[in-house]
Chains A and B, each alone.
Chain A
């Protein structure tokens, strides 16, 4: 039977390709919830990239690395996604479910998430990942484009599990800056 790809392997390949291409990034979304909150399933690894469509060398190296590892994306798809500021899906040709979801760092909230990112050896394998801080994750999940019941559950789980390590003054500052302080206060009161 042909072996399909495991989640950790996909994550490590993605970061290897980003490093080889000198593309700065931050891993966000469901994959990082397990670090600070509840462990739950997700089908994609969400990366925010510090990358412009004009950076041809970085893009060419990145695409070559992804394609060499059986990840489906073309140079044109990546450039188009960057120019349109849309999400770019990279299908894993060795898994029926797993994907990479790429997005350009563009908004004030994106830059804030990037600037507050943390370097961690995510799987204890010696491979470092830049991941979102718990404070940024909370504020992103409470921003208007999110706020699904799953997002709110993610916030609750981070608050419950990581209360000891959260920088509460930073969280308050971020929630005020990005307009989520009322919702955050309500969730904290309910816990």
Chain B
């Protein structure tokens, strides 16, 4: 089944160059990282930068392994 939103998203991307697409994709991922990092900072206000990075990897990596999802 093809979702309407997928078709709409694709129609907006047609005509973009490879680098334009990748820069857009990278900014989406960077925004996700920023949002996640800030949520960790609120959850663990006393943790250092290094500790937050480790907590982040533990949470997301194990979640991914549980899903057995290869993306």
Given contacts A44-B71, A98-B33, A190-B2, contact A35 B22 (CB under 8 A): yes
Given contacts A96-B52, A153-B6, contact A39 B40 (CB under 8 A): no
Interface of A is mostly: loop
Q: Does A175 contact B (CB under 8 A)?
A: no
Cβ-neighbour of A161 out of B14, B19, B49, B69 (below 8 A):
B14
Chain B residues with CB below 8 A from A30, complex form: 71
- The digit string for B2-26, where 1 denotes a CB below 8 A from any CB of A, is 1100110110011001111111111
Interface of B is mostly: helix
Q: Are A39 and B32 in contact (CB under 8 A)?
A: no
**A125 to B40 alpha-carbon distance, docked (Å):** 32
Q: Does A83 contact B (CB under 8 A)?
A: no
> Residues of B with Cβ closer than 8 Å to A?
1-3, 6-7, 9-10, 13-14, 17-26, 28-30, 32-33, 36-37, 40, 49-50, 52-53, 55-57, 60-61, 64, 69-71
> Residues of A with Cβ closer than 8 Å to B?
1-2, 4, 6-8, 11, 29-31, 34-35, 37-44, 89, 91-99, 120-125, 145-146, 148, 150, 153, 156-157, 160-161, 190-191
